[in-house]
Amino acid sequence: MTAAPPAAITSVDALTDALSAHAYVAERGLATAIYLALKLKRPLFLEGEAGVGKTEIAKVLAAVLGAELIRLQCYEGLDVNHAVYEWNYTRQMLHIRLMEAQRSGGAEEPLRGSEGEVEDELFGPKFLLKRPLLQAIDRDSDSPAVLLIDELDRSDEEFEAFLLEVLSDYQITIPEIGTIKAKTPPVVIITSNRTREIHDALKRRCIYQWIDYPNFNKELLIVTRKVPQAPAQLARQVTLFVQELRRAELYKLPGVAETLDWITALVALDAQALDERIVDETLGVLLKYQDDVVKARSELNKGIMAVVGTGIA
């Protein structure tokens, strides 16, 4: 028998409404995947291009559940010391020096405990520095944290293999202490930009969902929710411009995050509508590669603004 999802979210519709209340627009398929991950207590694995809102889901879900967000940003070379735990060597050395000072102080101040007991003390919980994975597993609170494992595809396969124990049994083994099992399993969100394939063994432990670029109506809704101060005409023009630009053969298509950055910049410039001059001057907010900027200017010369104007009329 499965437990009810946290925070009295008892249906996909209720979850969709809760996400919407925090300005996140989720399609039915995505909302269903999130709901199942909560109800079945399985990790949610999100794939998609950069900037489509994968990381934002974890942030919004933490707000919806009233839970702590614990984020592990993956990168090449990520190891256990940075992801799980490490020993507080500085504090251990200070403790050793204190014990040595007690020993040298004379027989009346003997070193407390046997050698084995001293070693157990040095490698005990008070000298343990918890990193994101252990923080999410070893919690005193009965409420689960939201654990975001961001851009897993940037990490090495060795670290990916280490995650199998964590995601299978929500436990972590520390040789000096033993196995620590979560009293309340965290809500786990894993994201990948698909720069490399993630192993099937890890994917099998997860609920999977692909997030694509939004269509015009969804992206316009996101823009108006996230940047409500933007003029209505500008919001529609920016959304249509980005939608048309994604048809071009760019090295890196702009995601929703770039759309929001761009319209925020345009609002800061007091723009009321798009024109070729302001588009040309602000392309560096929307695009991050010079070749793409050149192609975008080529699209301007081909009349993309006319298409945008037609779509707004």
Over residues 220-240, the pLDDT tens digits come to 999 999 999 999 999 999 999
Query: What is the DSSP annotation of 130-180?
Result: E-HHHHHHS-SSSSPPEEEEE-GGGS-HHHHHHHHHHHHHSEEEETTTEEE
Q: Is the pTM of this model over 0.75?
A: yes
pLDDT at residue 91 tops 80:
no
Q: Which residues contact residue 87 at a Cβ distance below 8 angstroms, ignoring those fewer than 6 apart?
A: 123, 127, 128, 129
For the record, the structure tokens of 30 come out as: 């995505």
Residue among 309, 224, 227, 222 at smallest CA distance from 268? 227
The runs of H, that is alpha helices, within the chain are: 12-21, 28-40, 54-65, 80-83, 89-104, 115-122, 132-137, 157-169, 200-203, 216-226, 232-245, 256-268, 276-286, 290-301, 304-312
Question: CATH for 6-80+131-211?
Answer: 3.40.50.300
The strand pair at 187-192 and 44-48 is best described as parallel
| 183-201 residue pLDDT tens | 899 999 999 999 999 999 9
SS3 label, residue 302: coil
| 268-305 residue pLDDT tens | 999 999 999 999 999 999 999 999 999 999 888 777 88
Q: Which residues contact residue 86 at a Cβ distance below 8 angstroms, ignoring those fewer than 6 apart?
A: 80, 129, 131
Q: Kindly compute the dihedral angle of the four CA atoms of residues 237, 238, 241, 246, in this order, to the nearest 10 degrees.
A: -150
| pLDDT for 107 | 44
pLDDT at residue 312 tops 90:
no
pLDDT at residue 111 tops 50:
no
